Every structure is written in C-alpha cells, then in structure tokens.
C-alpha cells in the first residue's frame, strides 16, 4: 500500500514540477508584453512577424514598407535590438526599396521599457533549422581580401575603413555589423538569401566562392565595427 | 448598329500587349532592379552606389564612345563573371548565378539599345 502512495506522490510532484516550469517565467511574460506593444503600436503595418506562406509577386514585393521581422530572433543581437528601438539610427542609407529617395530617418522610437519588451518578443522569432555555432566573428585578412578585393562587397554597402566610412548606398550599412548581426545568420543569408527576402538586388555568391570562403567572409562581416 | 465597344477596346488592348515580347518587359525590369543601383536608372552611371568614396565610377551605358570598345562577347562575359573577367574593377559583380543565361543575353541587347552602338568588328 505505502508503495502505491509513494509512486502516486512521486508522480504528482513530477507533474507539479513540469507544470511550474511551463508557466511563463519573467522573460516569457516580457515577450508577451512586447508582442502586445508591437500590435498596439501598429508595427505590423510595415513588418511581417510570420513566415509568408507563398512568395509574393515582384509587384507585391515592391509595395512592402519595411524589412521582414519573422526571423528577427535569428538575425539580430538582442542588445542591438533594444538599443536601436529606443534610438533608431538609419541602417539603410536609402528609403526602403528605393533608389531615388534617401532614408527619411523617421522610424518610430520606443521608450526603454517598451523597447526591452519588444526586443524580448522579437528574439523569440527564430528560423527553424538554422545551424548555430558555425561562424565565429574574426577580423581575418582572408575575409577582408574576399570582401574588398575579390568580390567588392563595399560596392553596395557602407563600411568603416580606418577613420572613414566608404562604400555604396543601395544595401544596408555594414558599419557596426558585428554588434548588429548574428554571425550564423550572416552565413545563412549568404547561402540562401531568398529564404529571408523574396527578391534582392544583391548578387548570388554561392558557387562563386567556396563554402569555406563564405564562412570566412561571414566571420569577417561579423567582426565589423 | 450596336457594338460592345468596351469589349472591343479591351480585346484590342490585350492584343497590343501580347505583341510586346515578354522578355522586353523583363529585361528592363532586370536592368532597373540589378544594374541601376550602380549604373543608374537611366544607365548613365550615376546610381546611388556611385558615391565619391568609390575607387571607380560605373560605366556610362549610354556613352557610345566607351561602349563601342566592348564586343558583344566582352559584355556577356563581364555580366557573367564580373570585373575580374575583363580586367576591370571587381566593383562590377558577377551575375552568372543570379541571372539566367537568357537574361544575360537580353541585357547585352538592352545595353546596345542604351548606347545605340555596336562592338568592334
């Protein structure tokens, strides 16, 4: 008899533990709060937070008003998100999907509490199956040679060169990319851009450099200040 | 006599649209999307990436003096393999894995229209 009681009480306490652990903790509650702020502030008018079910047509794509955020948790460093949401400095020198207009520099800003919650929420939006721990940030000479000499990536991206900021304006600035982007996401993006953006004017480099070079290049970008 | 004019007009418009080859629309779209960031929407080499900090300026595709030096083969190769292929700056990217061979050939024809020129014989 006492054996049965022991088993039952053990089972009950195990269940209780599982239940307690599954109750959203402090960060879960914060993410839910962030989600509420996101909806309330109308962020969804310009940003997607769910993976699209089908590829939009080119015309539909051109009407999109802001970058997708459904993989924000894999793309951005959490610290950067929080900081940027409180004081959103332009990342893309040009207005979204425009070759004519400059970035109007008018992104809505959040107070620090709201920004923290929204950053917590965005950090939960992860891409399934994205390999982690493949790329390490590294200021390597080989990466720099690929970036500057072999492929001329600065043709469309701003970068820091000594004290100056040089490069083109059609792509997002890579100044401070190390603080902004997750190294593994950079590699995943270079490997398959269309997983993240349905159309992009950035050329496909798969097959132009080797996979190893691509990892080295990603590590280099991930070290940019 | 009563005729369904609105339908006739629509039918004529459609017939007209179908006489424009699909590739003519596509090649311009490709040029504006892929090449204009550097070579400019009008092809004069003044896209947003042609900043004063860049080491070279993108080719002016409307300048026959510059463009007639290039053979059709040169143009196709530089689009396929980038600046490295023709010994110019690597700021000119390789498009062989971005665009299809057909799209690259169409772009070559489009560049010839922009410059109103042909290559050396």
Answer yes or no: is pLDDT of A7 > 70. Answer: no
pLDDT in tens, B47-81: 999 999 999 999 999 999 999 999 999 999 999 99
Compute the average pLDDT of residues A82-111. Answer: 98
CATH topology of domain A130-225: Cytochrome Bc1 Complex; Chain D, domain 2 (1.10.760)
Q: Is there a contact between B48 and A166 if contact means CB atoms under 8 Å apart?
A: no
Mutate: best of A148, A203, A210, A211, partner B, most B CBs <10 A: A203
- What does the CA dihedral A121, A122, A127, A132 come to, rounded to 10 degrees? -90
pLDDT at B10: 59
Q: Is there a contact between A203 and B98 if contact means CB atoms under 8 Å apart?
A: yes
Query: How far apart, in whole angstroms, are the C-alpha atoms of residue B38 and residue B33?
Result: 10
Q: Is there a contact between A170 and B53 if contact means CB atoms under 8 Å apart?
A: no
| Smallest Cα distance from A25 to chain B, Å | 46
CATH topology of domain A1-126: Cytochrome Bc1 Complex; Chain D, domain 2 (1.10.760)
Chain B residue with Cα closest to A94: B48
3-state helix, strand, coil in chain B (%, to 5): 55, 0, 45
Q: Where are the domains of chain A?
A: 1-126, 130-225
pLDDT at A169: 98
Residues of B in contact with A151 (CB under 8 A): 90, 93
| Smallest Cα distance from A123 to chain B, Å | 31
pLDDT in tens, B71-115: 999 999 999 999 988 899 999 999 999 999 999 999 999 999 999
Fold match between domain A1-126 and domain A130-225? yes
Residue for token pair 């620090």: A112
Domains and CATH numbers, chain B: 22-115 (1.10.760.10)
Residue A165 pairs in a beta bridge with: A160
Answer yes or no: is pLDDT of A1 > 70. Answer: no
Q: Where are the beta strands (DSSP E) in A82-225?
A: 158-161, 164-167
Question: What are phi and psi for residue A181, nearest 5 degrees?
Answer: -105, 145
Residue B97 at interface with chain A, using a CB cutoff of 8 Å: yes
pLDDT at A23: 46
CA distances from B96 to A7, A120, A197, B48 (A): 67, 41, 20, 23
How high is the mean pLDDT of chain B? 89
């Amino acid at each position: 008899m006492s054996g049965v009681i022991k088993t039952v009480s053990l089972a009950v306490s195990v269940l209780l533990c599982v239940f307690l652990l599954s109750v959203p903790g402090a960060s879960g509650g914060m993410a839910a709060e962030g989600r509420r702020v996101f909806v309330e502030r109308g962020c969804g008018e310009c940003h997607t937070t769910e993976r699209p079910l089908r590829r939009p047509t080119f015309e539909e794509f051109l009407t999109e008003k802001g970058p997708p955020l459904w993989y924000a948790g894999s793309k951005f460093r959490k610290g950067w998100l929080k900081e940027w949401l409180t004081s959103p400095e332009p990342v893309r020198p040009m207005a979204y999907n425009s070759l004519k207009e400059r970035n109007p520099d008018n992104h809505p800003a959040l107070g620090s509490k709201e920004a923290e919650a929204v950053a917590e929420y965005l950090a939960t939006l992860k891409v399934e199956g994205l390999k982690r721990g493949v790329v390490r940030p590294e200021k390597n000479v080989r990466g720099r040679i690929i970036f500057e000499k072999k492929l001329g990536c600065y043709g469309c991206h701003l970068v820091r060169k000594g004290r100056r900021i040089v490069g083109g304006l059609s792509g997002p600035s890579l100044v401070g990319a190390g603080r902004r982007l997750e190294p593994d996401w950079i590699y995943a993006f270079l490997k398959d851009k269309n997983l993240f953006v349905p159309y992009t004017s950035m050329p496909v480099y798969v097959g132009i450099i080797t996979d190893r070079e691509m990892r080295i290049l990603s590590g280099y970008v991930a070290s940019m200040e | 006599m009563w005729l369904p004019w609105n339908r006739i007009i629509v039918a004529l418009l459609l017939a007209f649209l179908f006489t424009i080859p699909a590739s003519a629309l596509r090649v311009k779209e490709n040029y504006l999307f892929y090449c204009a960031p550097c070579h400019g929407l009008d092809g004069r080499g003044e896209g947003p990436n042609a900043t004063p900090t860049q080491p070279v300026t993108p080719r002016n595709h409307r300048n026959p003096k510059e463009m007639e030096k290039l053979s059709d083969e040169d143009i196709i190769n530089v689009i396929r393999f980038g600046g490295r292929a023709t010994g110019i700056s690597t700021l000119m990217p390789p498009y062989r894995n971005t665009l299809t061979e057909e799209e690259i050939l169409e772009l070559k024809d489009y560049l010839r229209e922009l410059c109103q020129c042909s290559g050396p014989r």
